[in-house]
Structure 1
């Protein structure tokens, strides 16, 4: 039993540290995922929406700390009880999400490893079993070296987590796992290969045959039935290939400017997914930066999901000399974890990406 408990201890501890560290690299991304969970059509907890970033930060730091404390054997009873309560909650959450198809990606490993809802649930079930082994064998969990070493290691790890979280929130994630990372070409990311798998749909055809309703299922063909057609329902039973970059477009006045903008040699984008939530300090910094870019021959555009009723007042207030184009909000949140943020592109390839705190580092010479 002792060896099984210690093996489970290592597996659970390492997994919690890796999972938490990946999300700690991008806590803003987790906060966006929590917004999905708190939405009215999922958990219906809209009153928590204003606090998603704080909740995200607490969860990721706590997850990393539990993994470290487990490996160090520090406060083992407290650690195991917290692990058990946390995994029970997340197992329920991933099952609910998978069964009712509410959130298609749990965000367990951020953007580094994408899991389907059922894969996330299966992962949590395995973790639950391992943590139950730890719970019932907790007397076999001893401190690594000593309790004092465990305390010192825990304090150092907590300080490191807080400092790292502060850095990525005030700049950008240290490692970018998204399809809009520096060096990626947006246009190429939207290409669907000719041999890519196509989605498979199941059609449930409802007919009235001899006075009774009858349902016939096919994968698309209209069934040969001697009866009166009533209705048909369609369900996607197997997803097709989805390109890394999707739902990306640049629109204005009902016209699509995506192709033209991605063909620009020198393009700077100022991105604000929601103008109401944009940092005033960040918007103030855009004036000097974008004026310099324009003077150096760059085309400068704004990209937002907000309408002109919000973007035009911002342009006037900060005397910005460019126009805003419309892009999907979720896409803009994915592109850059800063509101506003800055992208520099060359023919669709992302050359530079900046948080507004680093706006003066934009290279336009």
Structure 2
């Protein structure tokens, strides 16, 4: 039994560390998933949606730390109770989503490993069984290092590392891009479904305006600078100021500059007037825009239909232009 509990402890700990790190790599994406859960048609907690990013940051750091604490055997009662309560909540949430078909992807592993609602639920059931085993047989839960102060400092250093990494990806972009719009992606190929799949990796995407669909025309351009802002009313004012110089440089170097947003003409005209932009705004699905780049606004360079570079508005000066 001691060996079984030890294996369960290592497995659950590593699982929580990996799951927490993947979401920590993209806390903005995880916050979008939380907003979906908080929606009126799911948990009906819309008052929490404005705080989704803060909650996302707390959850991912807490999840990773629990994995580390479990492996180290640090703060035994606190760790076991935290794990048990967290997995009970997630098991309920994934069952609710699966049974009522509310959320198609739990976001447990971000975009790295999309899971169906039922796959998410059964994954949580397995974790619940293992955590219950660890909880019930807690006498075998011993600290990994002695004295225990060593474990405390390890947890503290991991916590500081988590804070630093999370701040970095929030101020820039995810360190690892698992999404369908990662650099090097051939957009036309991504718009074709893979073998055995119905929905292609890139869908609900295009460049639409009142005149029609300019997607093919833009993807055939040699050099395009794409300004991305899924919702102009939620975009950062300082972001527009920072990307303005990058837009001007791109125009001088012969780039076709266009913007993508899910906002209406009133908001787009206001942004153009405020910052003196003369490039056209195209409309496309908001979810697709959120997936392209985790920055509102953000910049993407496309050459002959291939995504070359993506940058956060904080890194607009680092944009490489031919």
Give the TM bin, normalised by the shorter chain. over 0.9
* Structure 1 equivalent of residue 45 of structure 2: 45
Q: Aligned-pair distance for 1:160? A: 0.3
RMSD, matched Cα = 0.9
Deviations 1:295-323 (A, max 9, x none): 11000001100011101011110111211
Q: Can you give the 5+ residue segments of structure 2 that lack an aligned partner in the other structure?
A: none
Distance 1:326 1:286 in 2: 20
For 1:150, the equivalent position in structure 2 comes to: 151
Q: Which string of whole-angstrom CA distances, capped at 9 and with x for unpartnered residues, describes residues 175-217 of structure 1? A: 0000100000111101136xx44xxxxxxxxxxxxxxxxxxxx
Residue 257 of structure 2 aligns with which residue?
A: 300
Contact 2:173 2:312 in 1 (8 A): yes
Higher strand share: 1
Max Rg structure:
1
Q: TM-score, normalised by structure 2?
A: 0.98
Is 1:279 paired with 2:236? yes
Alignment of 1:222-233 (within 5 A): none
Q: Residue 63 of structure 2 corresponds to which residue in structure 1?
A: 63
2-side partners of 1:254 and 1:20: how far apart? 45
1:20-46 CA distances to partner (integer Å, 9 max, x unpaired)? Answer: 000000000000000110111111100
Does the 8 A contact of 2:236 with 2:296 survive in 1?
Answer: yes
Which fold has the larger relative contact order, with Cα–Cα distance below 8 Å and residues 6 or more apart in sequence?
2
- Could you say which residue in structure 1 is the equivalent of 2:83? 83
Deviation string 1:238-296 (CA, Å, 9 cap, x unpaired) is: xx522111111110105011111111100000000000110101011122110110011
d(CA) in 1 for partners of 2:118, 2:321: 46
Q: Secondary structure in 1 aligned to 2:63?
A: helix
Find the counterpart in structure 2 of residue 333 from structure 1.
290
1:321 to 278, 285, 301: 278
1:110 and 2:67 are equivalent in the alignment: no
Aligned partners of 2:151, 2:36: CA distance in 1, in Å?
A: 37
Do 2:193 and 2:201's aligned partners in 1 also have CA atoms closer than 8 Å?
A: no
Q: Distance in 1 between matches of 2:314 and 2:243?
A: 10
SS state at 1:269 partner? strand
Task: Tell me which moved more, 123-132 or 138-147.
Answer: 138-147
Q: CA deviation at 1:362?
A: 1.2
Deviations 1:59-104 (A, max 9, x none): 0000000000001111011001000000000000000000000000
In the alignment, does 2:246 pair up with 1:245?
A: no
Question: Does the aligned pair in 2 maintain the 1:189–1:244 contact within 8 Å?
Answer: yes
Q: Tell me the TM-score normalized by structure 1.
A: 0.87
Query: What CA deviation, in whole Å up to 9, does each residue of 1:111-167 have, x standing for no partner?
Result: 000110000000000000000001001121111112111101000000000000000
Unaligned residue ranges in structure 1 (runs of 5+): 198-239
Partner of residue 186, structure 1:
187
Contact map agreement 2:261 2:284 (CA 8 A) in 1: yes
1:9 maps to: 9
Counterpart of 1:266 in structure 2 is 223
2:73 corresponds to: 73
Write 1 or 2 for the structure with the bigger share of helix.
Answer: 2
Give the Cα–Cα distance (whole angstroms) in 2 for the partners of residues 131 and 276 of structure 1: 44
Corresponding residue number in structure 2 for 1:159:
160
